[in-house]
Amino acid sequence: MEIRELSVNGAWEFTPVQHGDSRGVFLEAFKAPLLAEVIGHDLDLAQVNVSVSAAGSVRGVHFADVPPGQAKYVTCVAGAVLDVIVDIRVGSPTFGHHDTVLLDDTDRRAVYLAEGLGHAFCSLADGSTVAYLCSTGYNPGAEHGVNPMDPALGIDWPTTARDGSRLTFELSAKDTAAPTLAQAREQGLLPEYDAVVAYLAQRALLDQ
C-alpha cells in the first residue's frame, strides 16, 4: 500500500495495490497494523458508517469535540467523491487550510484524518457510496459543522460530475445553516490545536 502524508498535519492518503483478473479485483482496503505504524496508535474502531449520495451532494464540514474526537478512515466503494480535509484546530500552523483527495472505485484510495480535523466531500456521481471507519460512535451533542461554502475556506468545489454533466450542489439543512469558520471560532466550537496534540500524545503512550 502506498502512503502519502497530506498537507494538513494528521491526515494521510492510502492507495492500495489492486490484483485483477477476469473475475474482477481484490485489494486490501484497510490494514490496522500499517495504520497504527503511521499514526502512532491503534484505531479504536467503534462504528462503521455508510452514506450513498447523488451527484452534487455536499456533506460536511463535520467535526467532533476533542476529547475524544472522532478519527475517520474513509473510502469510496462505488462512484466517486472529492474528499476534503480541513484544519479547524485553533492555533495550528495550518489553521483554515485544507487538502483534497479524489476517492473513487478506480484507484480505490482511502484517507485517514485524525481527531480534531474537519471532513467534507462532494459526490461526483449518482450513488456514490462512502464508507467511514470511525474511532468513536455518533454523539450528537459533541458533533458540529462549518459551512462548506464559507469563502474563507477557499475550497474549490468541483462543478463537473464524473460523466461530464454540470453539478448542482445540494446540502442538508443542517450544513446550510452551519456557521462560518470565523463564527465557529467565535462561538468556541473549534478544537484547540495544543489540546488535540496533547490528547493524541497521551493516546500513543497508552498503546505502547
Question: What residues form the annotated binding site?
Answer: 23, 28, 47-49, 59, 72, 119, 143, 166
Spatial separation of the C-alpha atoms in residues 150 and 157, rounded to whole Å: 11
Annotated binding site for substrate: 23, 28, 47-49, 59, 72, 119, 143, 166
C-alpha cell at 166: 454540470
Q: Which residues pair with 115 in a beta bridge?
A: none
Q: Please give the Cα distance from 140 to 60 (Å, whole number).
A: 14
Cα gap 4→147, rounded to integer Å: 27
User: 19 an active-site residue?
Assistant: no
Cell of 179: 456557521
Q: How is residue 39 written as a grid cell?
A: 499514526
- Among 41, 62, 98, 144, the active-site one is 62
Catalytic residue of the set 97, 98, 112, 132: 132
Catalytic residue IDs: 62, 132
